[in-house]
Structure 1
Amino acid sequence: MPELRDYAQLSDRFEARQLDAKGFSHVDHIGVACQMLQKYEFLEAACRYGNALRGLASRAGVPEKYNTTITLAFLGILSERMAETPHETFGEFLAKNPDLSSRALMATWYSDARLGSPGARQRFLLPDRYQG
C-alpha cells in the first residue's frame, strides 16, 4: 500500500492551487477528493475539485488531461462508497475498496472511446456500458 499523506492539508493546498502535479499520485487524487466530499456538499465539492484539478493540469502544461466525465463519475463513486463503507481511516477505506486504486474502474461503465472523446473532457457524459 502506498504511503498515506495528510489529506486535509493536501486538500487545502490543492484548492489554493499550491500543488505541483509532480508527485500528486492517483492515491493523492482519491485522498483529496475524499476530504473535499467530507467538507462540502457533493455539488460544491465537485465544482471545487474539478476547478482545482483543471488548474493543476493547466499549470503542468497538459490541460488536455483534464476530463470532466472521469472527474464527476469518480467523485460519484467515491461519495457512494464513503457512505456505504464503514471505515475509520482513509487507509482502511482504501483497503476495503481496492478497485478505487485501479485506473480500470471506469471501464465498468465507459468505453475507452467515450472516455477519451473531446466531449467527455468538456462535459459530463452518461455511461455507454455497464458490466455488473
Structure 2
Amino acid sequence: MTRFQGLMQEVMLQANHFGHRQHVHLTWLAIREYGTETAVDLISDGIRNTARYAGAPQKYNATVSRAWVELVGHHVSESTVADFDTFVGDNAALLDKRLLTRFYRTSTLAGAKARAEWVEPDLAPFPWQCEAS
C-alpha cells in the first residue's frame, strides 16, 4: 500500500463518499505526517494517478492540487490543533470549494498551463506571500 492509499483509507473510515471535505482531510493528514513540501508531491501524484486510473486524466490540475496543499499547509503551520474537525472549524474557509477564486481567475485555473504545471496566483497573493513581503 502506498502512503497516499494509506491516507485515503484513513479518511474514508469516517466518510461514505469522497468530496471536498475529504480532500481537505486527506491533505491535512499528509501535511501533518510528511510536511507541506512532501505533501505537495504526495497529494498531486496520488490525485493524478487516481484520475488516470478512473479514465479521466484530464480532471487532474497541477495548479489546483498544489495550491490546495499549500493553503492547507499554511493553516496547519499556524495551528496547534491535533483534531481535524476542530481544525476545519477554526479554518472554515478551507471548506469553500471556490476558495482558489480569491487568488486565481477561473480562466487561469481552467487553462492548459495550470492543468499541466504550477501557475502563480493572478488575482491576489497567497497569505504567506504577503507576510514575506
TM category (shorter chain) comes to 0.7 to 0.9
Task: Please say if residues 4 and 46 of structure 2, whose CA atoms lie closer than 8 Å, have aligned partners that are also in contact.
Answer: no
Task: Please say if residues 57 and 66 of structure 1, whose CA atoms lie closer than 8 Å, have aligned partners that are also in contact.
Answer: yes
- How far does the alpha carbon of each residue in 1:79-132 deviate from its partner, in whole angstroms, 9 at most, with x for none? 110111332310001111111111110011000000000110100000111288
Q: Within 1, Cα distance between the matches of 2:8 and 2:58?
A: 19
Aligned structure 1 segments of 4 or more residues deviating by more than 6 angstroms: none
Give the aligned length.
118
Identity of aligned residues (%): 23
Q: Within 2, Cα distance between the matches of 1:127 and 1:10?
A: 27
Q: Say which structure is richer in helix.
A: 2
Q: Taking structure 1 as reference, are residues 94 and 10 closer, same or farther at Cα in structure 2, changes over 3 Å only?
A: farther
Name the residue aligned to 2:131.
none
Q: Does 1:30 align with 2:24?
A: yes
Q: Taking structure 1 as reference, are residues 78 and 88 closer, same or farther at Cα in structure 2, changes over 3 Å only?
A: same
Q: Within 1, Cα distance between the matches of 2:63 and 2:51?
A: 15
Name the residue aligned to 1:47.
41
Name the residue aligned to 2:13.
none
Shift of 1:62: 1.5
Q: Taking structure 1 as reference, are residues 30 and 11 closer, same or farther at Cα in structure 2, changes over 3 Å only?
A: farther
- How far does the alpha carbon of each residue in 1:26-56 deviate from its partner, in whole angstroms, 9 at most, with x for none? 1111111111111113222211111111111
Q: Within 2, Cα distance between the matches of 1:78 and 1:11?
A: 19
Mean Cα deviation higher: 116-125 or 52-61:
52-61
TM-score normalised by L of structure 1: 0.80
The counterpart of 1:81, out of the listed 64, 75, 79, is 75
Compute the RMSD of aligned alpha carbons: 2.4
Give the gaps of 5 or more residues in structure 1. 1-8, 16-21
The residue type equivalent to 2:117 in the other structure is R
Give the gaps of 5 or more residues in structure 2. 10-15, 128-133
TM-score normalised by L of structure 2: 0.79
